[in-house]
Amino acid sequence: MCGIAGVISYRTMLRDKERYFTQMQNSIVRRGPDQKGMYLSEHAALLHTRLAVIDPENGIQPMQFFYQNELYTIIYNGELYNTSELRTRLQKEGFTFDTTSDTEVLLKAYACYGEECVELLNGIFAFAVWEQERQRLFLARDRIGVKPLFYHLTPERLVFGSELKCILKYPDVPHEIDMDGISQILLFGPGRTPGCGVFRGMQEIPPAHCACYTKESGLHVRCYWKLEAKEHPDNFEQTVEYVRYLLTDAIRRQLVSDVPIGTFLSGGLDSSLISSVAAREFAKEGRRLHTFSVDYTDNDKYFQKSKFQPNSDPAYIRRMQTYLDAEHHWTVIDTPRLAVALFDAVDARDLPGMVDVDSSLLLFCGEIKKHVTVALSGECADELFGGYPWYRDPEIRAAYGFPWSQSTAYRLSFAKPEIAEVLEQRGDVDREYRATLERAAKCSGESATEQRMREMMRLNLDWFMQTLLDRKDRMSMYHALEVRVPFCDYRIAQYLYNVPWEFKEYKGYEKGLLREAMRDYLPDEVLWRKKSPYPKTHNPNYLTAVTTLLEERLRNPDAPLLQFVRRDALQQLMYGEDNVQWYGQLMTKPQTIAYFVQTDYWLEQYNVKVVL
């Protein structure tokens, strides 16, 4: 993976601003520490930092290609998983290739097919192509939204980049939030409204969208792919076979790498399946898979069973370690380190996030990078196969609103009265919820349950999954670790969107269809293990640690957080007995305290001005 950034201005001579471009490039060097590249012309600056994964010697960017009187220059962050097929197709069109890099394939695909090339791509990507003669910029992002692409637009210019921090380095981009930004932080965070970059004027190219920017027409953003509702043609046995094919094919494609590669292994269904398929592929080549797990100091001592987490992971990890005959690596994180890393997690995400879920992953990825450069992870299976409690509990499923964030009134209680009044009148949460339901394509004549399941999948894909993908990208790329997510293959998403719920819940199990499809890949105790969420610390010292951090920040009478948050509400949070979920079971009282710690730090560190 890599970092990309750029500026296009038809009114300004950009050659005079190279120092700003260098600052932008340096701000994302953690994403790509292997090489730096810059293309600079009168009206265009394209910046790249490279993490070399495929063809390290020849895949240097920006990469250029002259074709039919046009000079194309590309910067690209991502991986294509159908590079071989696309290269063969282009060779039949008469193109030749000098490298084995997927960047060259993508560049020549764009030269050949123009912006329609995105419809041919299977992969995770964000890229920009500048056409020098036409003075035209093209931007695109992958179908599921695994790779980020933000931008800030004014009448004078367009600034874009992989991360918010690099755009904020450009001198005329304001470090401001208005009521829209406050709404994102208090009512939606750590999620974000699709396309919103929280900072004033900051936006994001949505998943499955591309954009064209010209002097004459400005910026035009369009959707190039979306989930389609169709009648499911296959019976259960056929569905099982096709799911098995799709998943094993996605995993195999994503094992291609010219650098060391491994897998995350939590002992749960999803990561164990990926590890099992990968281990068998490695064994064919006489290689041994490297697997990686995380745990927390004294977690065995403090773990308590709950409805959402009936058992802990280590025993299942050890069972998989034996089953796979893998080269396994443990990372054990203690509470003080986890709390301190909250600040690094903000620096990585450029926003307050999923607190200890972020910081633990950030620390974990740092340890993984000592052994491999690429890792496969099991995110997004629950969104597609219906594994979360809100899919399966009829009462939660029928409830109005985002199922992981039913606490809008509780969230509003932290806002200063005059701000809470405005936010309540705006009705942002209700508006975005309704808009998401409207995006859920449906088939006429299907049952109310099937229609609701389509809505639930749309809600999860557009919101909860995007939050997890944000986390995965920023925490891993902070350490220049490329993480691939096979369940995010768009073919799986499209197929699963139309699979009936009774198939997905086979035998009453969460993700029953997935378990049945992959039953030959796991020992029974792992295959039929009840879902367990991402591992987190159960040490009560974590609550003490984050409370101390918030107390320290609130000793400042001008703490930035207090511009829109009530001090007395924060004190009630720290010392009261309430324990309302802020963001599903992942963020209860300790994590909510940590979220406000992160928010205050973010406002201070990023010099954010609150404009009301």
- CA R_g for the chain: 24
Tokens at 82, concatenated: 């159908």
Do 343 and 594 touch, CB atoms closer than 8 A? Answer: no
Q: Give the Cα separation of 119 and 499 in Å (integer).
A: 23
DSSP, collapsed to helix, strand or coil, labels residue 62 as: coil
The DSSP output letter for 424 is H
Beta-carbon contacts of 447 under 8 Å, excluding residues fewer than 6 positions away, are none
DSSP, collapsed to helix, strand or coil, labels residue 49 as: strand
Pairing of strands 136-141, 123-131: antiparallel
Q: Give the Cα separation of 511 and 519 in Å (integer).
A: 12
- Phi, psi torsion values for 70, nearest 5 degrees: -130, 135
Q: Give the Cα separation of 33 and 26 in Å (integer).
A: 10
Tokens at 464, concatenated: 């909860």
Do 559 and 566 touch, CB atoms closer than 8 A? Answer: no
Tokens at 390, concatenated: 């809100």
Q: Give the Cα separation of 513 and 167 in Å (integer).
A: 43
Do 290 and 260 touch, CB atoms closer than 8 A? Answer: yes
Where do the H-state alpha helices sit in 17-163? Answer: 18-27, 83-92, 102-113
In DSSP terms, which residues pair with 331 in a beta bridge?
294
- On the 0-12 / 13-18 / 19+ scale of CB atoms within 10 A, 360 is buried
User: Which residues are known catalytic residues?
Assistant: 2
Helix (H) or strand (E) holding 19: helix 18-27
DSSP, collapsed to helix, strand or coil, labels residue 140 as: strand
